[in-house]
Structure 1
Amino acid sequence: MKNKSLLDNFEEYDDPALYDRENERYKGDIPFLQKWAEKMDGPIIDVACGTGRATIPLGQEGYELIGVDVHQGMLDEAKKKADNLNLNVKWLKQDCTNLDLHVKSSLIYTVGNSFQHFLTNEDQDGLLKSVNRHLKNGGIFIFGTRFPVEEDLIHQSSEEYWRTYPDPETSHEVDVYTISRYDALDQVQHCTTIRKYKDNQGCVIDEKRTNINLRYVFPKEMERLLDAHGFEILHVYEDWNETPITNDSNEMVYVCKKHGDGSTASKAPQKEAREPSLCF
C-alpha cells in the first residue's frame, strides 16, 4: 500500500535536475556527518536520500553507503551521478516508514529537513520504528528539522520573496517566491513555491509553481516522540556547526542513540547544558 502523505509531496521532486540546481551546492551538513561516520563501521544508511546530495560525498570518502528513497526519479539521478564517479553506492526504492533493508547499521541519517515530509503521527511512528529496527544497539540516528518559529507559521496569502539564484543552464536569474498556509491542528504548513525565470534583460519569461507540505514538531514533543521509539537524545543543535539551540533558533539538529537493550522506552533524554526553556 502506497503512503499517500509521502506521495503528496512528489510534485516538488518530479524534476530532479531542478532540485540539484537549487540544492546540490549546499554542503553545510557534510562535515558533521563525516565526523560521525569516522566513528562507525559497516554500512551507513541515508534515509530519504533524494539525488544523493549527502550520500555521494560520504561515498567519495570510502564509506559504504545505502541510499533509500521513495521517489524513483530522484534515485535514478543519484545513481547516474554516483556511476559517473565510479562509486559503489547501493540505491534502494522503499517507503521509509516501512523499511526492509536486511541490514543493521551503526549510523543512519536523514537530512535536508526530510523529517518534515512525514506528515502524520503514523508516518513519524513508521519512520522511527524503521530506523530503530535497522540500527545496531547503541547505533546513532542523526536528522535535522526546522524549528517552528512563529514567523514561519504565519499565513502568507500573497507571494513573498525568498531568494534569487543563477540558473546554471542559462546564467540568468531565477527569483523564488513562496505562499504558505499553516494548519495548526495538523501542524502542517502547505507551501507553494513560485520560480520566476528571467531573460538577459531581467524580464520574467517563464514561471513554475510547485507545492509541498511540511510537518512541524515542537522540541518537547520531539523529546517524547524519540523516547517512545527507543532513542536517547545525545545532542540538540541549532545548526550543523554544533551551535547550542536557543529560543531564537531556526533549525533543530538531533543526534540520537538507540538504547543498547533495544527497548522502546527509556529514562528521560539527556539535555544540552544550555538547552533553553522552550515555551516549532
Structure 2
Amino acid sequence: MQVSLSRRIILKEINASNNLDMYDDPSSYDEEYESYQAEIPLLLKWASITKGTIIDLACGTGRATIPLANEGYKLMGIDIHQGMLDRAKEKSSRMNLKIDWVRQDCTQLNLKTKASLIYTVGNSFQHFLTNENQDALLSSVRNHLIDGGIFIFGTRFPNASELLSSPEEEYVRTYKDKNSQLIVEEYHISEYDALTQIQHNSTIKKYKDSEGEIVKETSSNISLRYVYPKEMERILHKYGLKILHLYKDWNGSPITSVSNEMIYICRKIND
C-alpha cells in the first residue's frame, strides 16, 4: 500500500517529537524482546574484571540488568521511561534482587556514584538523534566512569542494505498474540534521511480474529540515528574514550564492511 506524502511527513514529525512509542506497553515489549540475551556473555566477561557499581544506561525493563545482578554484581539501571522502570522493578522484586532503578535522562546524568563499567545495549545509542544529544550522552558517561573505566555499547552498522527504505508497508511476519490469542500481521515502513542520518520507522500491527477479519490495528514510531565508524571514532576520542575493541557482534567477531552491528569496548583515558 502506497503511503501518502502527508503521512510520511506526519511520521517524521511524530518521531522527532516523541521517540518512545514502542515503549508505552512494557509487558508487550518484554514479550517480544526479553528472550534476547546475546549481549550477556560479553557483559559478564567485563563485569568479572571490574569492581563496584555497574551502570546500565537506557536499561528499559532490565533485560540486561537483571541477569548481571542475578550473578551477584551491583547494578544500577537508568531510564527515562517510568513505565519501563516500573516493569523492571516488578521483575527484580520477584527475584529478590537489589537493583537501584533510577529515572533520569541519560544525557543529563546526576548520579552520586562513579562506575568501573557502564554499558548500554539494544542499540540505544541510536536514540540520541542529534550531535548535541550524542555529545551530552558521552559527556555523562565520561563523568560517571572512574579513570580507566569501561564503556560498552552497540549500534547498528550503516551498511547499504540497512539504510534501504521503503515508503510502502512491507510485510514482516505473522504470529499469535499471547494475551488476546489473535493472529497478528506485522508491517514496517522505513525512510532514511541522508542529511540527518536518521531513519524514520513505523511498525503497523493488524490483529485478526479466527475469520481473518481485522479487529484492531496499532502503529508505533521510532527514529534512529546512524553513525559511521570513522565518525564514531572521532566522537569517542573527543570524550576521552579509547576504543579497545570493535566487533561486528556480541560474540566478538571481527567487523567487516557488510556487518550489521558495531559493538564498542572503550576505556576512559585518565584526565
Determine if the TM-score, normalized by the shorter chain, exceeds 0.5. yes
Q: Does the 8 Å CA contact 2:241/2:266 hold for their aligned counterparts?
A: yes
Q: More deviation in 153-162 or 25-34?
A: 153-162
Give 1:147's aligned amino acid.
Answer: F
Q: More deviation in 148-157 or 89-98?
A: 148-157
- Name the residue aligned to 1:32: 42
Identity of aligned residues (%): 58
1:251 is aligned to 2:239: no
- Name the residue aligned to 1:271: none
TM-score (norm 1): 0.88
Give 1:226's aligned amino acid.
Answer: L
Aligned match for 1:11, one of 1, 13, 21: 21
1:163 is aligned to 2:167: no
> What is the alpha-carbon distance in structure 1 between the residues aligned to residue 91 and residue 103 of structure 2?
17
| Higher RCO by CA contacts (8 Å cutoff, separation 6 or greater) | 2
SS of 1:97's equivalent in the other structure is helix
Give 1:241's aligned amino acid.
Answer: N
Distance 1:125 1:5, change over 3 A: farther
> What is the alpha-carbon distance in structure 2 between the residues aligned to residue 140 and residue 165 of structure 1?
39
Aligned match for 2:85, one of 70, 75, 85: 75
Aligned pair count? Answer: 258
Q: Give the superposition deviation at 1:152.
A: 2.3
CA RMSD of aligned residues (A): 1.7
> What is the alpha-carbon distance in structure 2 between the residues aligned to residue 107 and residue 165 of structure 1?
38
SS of 1:63's equivalent in the other structure is coil
> What is the alpha-carbon distance in structure 2 between the residues aligned to residue 53 and residue 7 of structure 1?
26
- Name the residue aligned to 1:66: 76
- Give unmatched runs, 5+ long, in structure 1: 263-280
Q: Give the superposition deviation at 1:172.
A: 4.5
- Name the residue aligned to 2:222: 212
Q: Where has structure 1 moved over 6 Å in runs of 4 or more? A: 4-7
Q: More deviation in 20-29 or 151-160?
A: 151-160
1:189 is aligned to 2:199: yes
1:235 is aligned to 2:237: no
> What is the alpha-carbon distance in structure 2 between the residues aligned to residue 249 and residue 135 of structure 1?
29
1:140-185 Cα distance to aligned partner (Å, 9 max, x none): 0000000011122223111112234442224554332110111111
> What is the alpha-carbon distance in structure 1 between the residues aligned to residue 250 and residue 211 of structure 2?
38
TM-score (norm 2): 0.91
Aligned match for 1:23, one of 30, 33, 38: 33
- Name the residue aligned to 2:9: none
Q: Give the superposition deviation at 1:31.
A: 1.1
Q: Does the 8 Å CA contact 1:146/1:251 hold for their aligned counterparts?
A: yes
1:210-255 Cα distance to aligned partner (Å, 9 max, x none): 0111000000100000011101001111111111100110110100
1:44 is aligned to 2:51: no
